[in-house]
Amino acid sequence: MLNKMLLGTLVAFSFSAAANIAVIVNPANNTSVDAEEVVRIYTGRSNAFVAVNLAESSALRSDFDEKGVGRSSSQLKAHWSKLVFTGKGTPPAELASEAEVIEFVAANPKAIGYINADKATAAVKIVHTIK
């Protein structure tokens, strides 16, 4: 039983590490987004979009924080705590699933989020891919 649990955990980590992360926006939004803009948005230095995050417990969020923003999840949490404490920012709202991110972004022209690239639908537009 323990071996099966360990194997399942390893497979899950292997899958999440290999998956590309798609940064998505509403299809009506024609704003271009590059890697630097993603960092600015998710660190509160740009308000060009309404950003959403996955839950802190999400493996994809950890991957996005490290690969997309260049900081660990704990570093970003500390960064946002400082901004909130000083009244200089509000962190992105957290959504429970990638399906909720897609739904939110599809319904809001100024929204930006991220999902596994293989879960993208026609309801959203991929503007940046993180490998």
As a whole number, mean pLDDT of residues 5-30 equals 70
Helix (H) or strand (E) holding 22: strand 21-25
| Whole-structure pTM value | 0.85
Buried b (16+ CB within 10 A) or exposed e, 76-108: beebbeebeeeeebebbeebeebebbbbbbbeb
The rounded percent of the chain whose pLDDT value lies above 70 is: 86
Q: Where are the alpha helices (DSSP H) in 19-97?
A: 35-42, 59-63, 73-85
Residue 90, amino acid: T
List the CATH code of the domain at 20-130: 3.40.190.10
Q: How many CB atoms lie within 10 A of CB 29?
A: 20
Q: Where are the domains of the chain?
A: 20-130
Q: Is the pLDDT of residue 9 over 60?
A: no
pLDDT digits over 57-96, tens only?
Answer: 999 999 999 999 999 999 999 999 999 999 999 999 999 9
Predicted local distance difference test score (pLDDT) of residue 4: 52
